[in-house]
Amino acid sequence: MRDDIKALTRPELLTWLETRGERAFRADQILKWLYVRLADRFEQMTDLNKALRSLLTEQFVIHRLGVADTRTAADGTRKFLFRLTDGQTVESVLIPERDHFTLCVSSQVGCAQGCRFCLTGQGGLVRNLNHAEIVGQVWETRKQMDDPGQLTNLVFMGMGEPLANYDNLVKAIEVLTNSDWGMKFATRHVTVSTSGLVPRLLDLGRDTRINPAISLNAVDDATRSRLMPINRKYPIADLLEACRQYNLPKGRKLTFEYILFKDLNDGPEQARRLAKLLAPLKAKINLIPFNPYPGSAFDRPSETRIEAFKAFLMEKHFTCVVRYSKGQDIMAACGQLRGQSGKSGSGGTGATEEPS
Per rule CB under 6 A, is residue 289 in the interface with ligand SF4?
Answer: no
Distance in angstroms between the alpha carbons of the first and the last residue of the chain: 25
- Single out the residue of 133, 140, 161, 266 in contact with ligand SF4 (rule: CB under 6 A): 161
Q: Identify the H or E element spanning 229.
A: none
> Which residue type occupies 142?
R
Please choose, from the candidates 179, 182, 187, 66, the residue with its C-alpha nearest in 3D space to the C-alpha of residue 135. Answer: 182
* Binding partner of 331, given ligand SF4, ligand SAH, none, CB within 5-8 angstroms per partner class: none
Query: Could you give phi then psi for residue 86, rounded to 5 degrees?
Result: -90, 10
* Binding partner of 157, given ligand SF4, ligand SAH, none, CB within 5-8 angstroms per partner class: ligand SAH
- Whole-angstrom distance, CA of residue 146 vs CA of residue 225: 44
Per rule CB under 6 A, is residue 197 in the interface with ligand SF4?
Answer: no
Catalytic residue among 115, 140, 334, 353: 334
Instruction: State how far the alpha carbon of 123 is from the alpha carbons of 113, 119, 155, 228, 232, in Å.
Output: 10, 8, 22, 15, 20
Question: Closest approach of Cβ 195 to ligand SAH, in Å?
Answer: 4
Q: Of 73-81, 117-125, 231-239, 276-284, which part binds ligand SF4 (CB under 6 A)?
A: 117-125
Per rule CB under 6 A, is residue 113 in the interface with ligand SF4?
Answer: yes
70: Cβ contacts below 8 Å, ≥ 6 apart:
78, 79, 80, 81, 144
User: Does residue 262 contact residue 303 with C-beta atoms inside 8 Å?
Assistant: no
- Whole-angstrom distance, CA of residue 246 vs CA of residue 173: 18
Residue 353 designated active-site: no
Please choose, from the candidates 58, 30, 28, 64, the residue with its C-alpha nearest in 3D space to the C-alpha of residue 44. Answer: 30
* Binding partner of 291, given ligand SF4, ligand SAH, none, CB within 5-8 angstroms per partner class: ligand SAH
Cβ burial of 121 (10 Å; 0-12, 13-18, 19+) is buried
DSSP state of 2: P
- Single out the residue of 22, 30, 65, 121 in contact with ligand SF4 (rule: CB under 6 A): 121
Question: Closest approach of Cβ 294 to ligand SAH, in Å?
Answer: 12
Q: Which is nearer to ligand SF4, 34 or 288 (CB)?
A: 288
* Binding partner of 56, given ligand SF4, ligand SAH, none, CB within 5-8 angstroms per partner class: none
- Whole-angstrom distance, CA of residue 186 vs CA of residue 188: 5
Question: Closest approach of Cβ 46 to ligand SF4, in Å?
Answer: 42
Q: Which is nearer to ligand SAH, 165 or 181 (CB)?
A: 165
Assign 46 to helix, strand or coil.
coil
Question: Closest approach of Cβ 101 to ligand SF4, in Å?
Answer: 22
DSSP state of 40: -
Residue 269 designated active-site: no
Catalytic residue among 22, 91, 140, 353: 91
Question: Closest approach of Cβ 179 to ligand SAH, in Å?
Answer: 26
User: Does residue 259 contact residue 312 with C-beta atoms inside 8 Å?
Assistant: no
Please choose, from the candidates 199, 194, 210, the residue with its C-alpha nearest in 3D space to the C-alpha of residue 245. Answer: 199
Q: Which is nearer to ligand SF4, 90 or 95 (CB)?
A: 90
Per rule CB under 6 A, is residue 196 in the interface with ligand SF4?
Answer: no
* Binding partner of 260, given ligand SF4, ligand SAH, none, CB within 5-8 angstroms per partner class: none
Angle between helix 236-245 and helix 198-207 axes, rounded to 10 deg = 10
Please choose, from the candidates 31, 69, 29, the residue with its C-alpha nearest in 3D space to the C-alpha of residue 48. Answer: 29
Per rule CB under 6 A, is residue 120 in the interface with ligand SF4?
Answer: yes
* Binding partner of 205, given ligand SAH, ligand SF4, none, CB within 5-8 angstroms per partner class: none
**What residue ranges bind ligand SAH (CB under 6 A)?**
117-118, 157, 161, 193-195, 215, 217, 257, 259, 288, 290-291, 334-335
Per rule CB under 6 A, is residue 160 in the interface with ligand SF4?
Answer: yes
Task: List residues binding ligand SF4 (CB under 6 A).
Answer: 111, 113-115, 118, 120-121, 160-161, 195
Active site residues: 91, 334
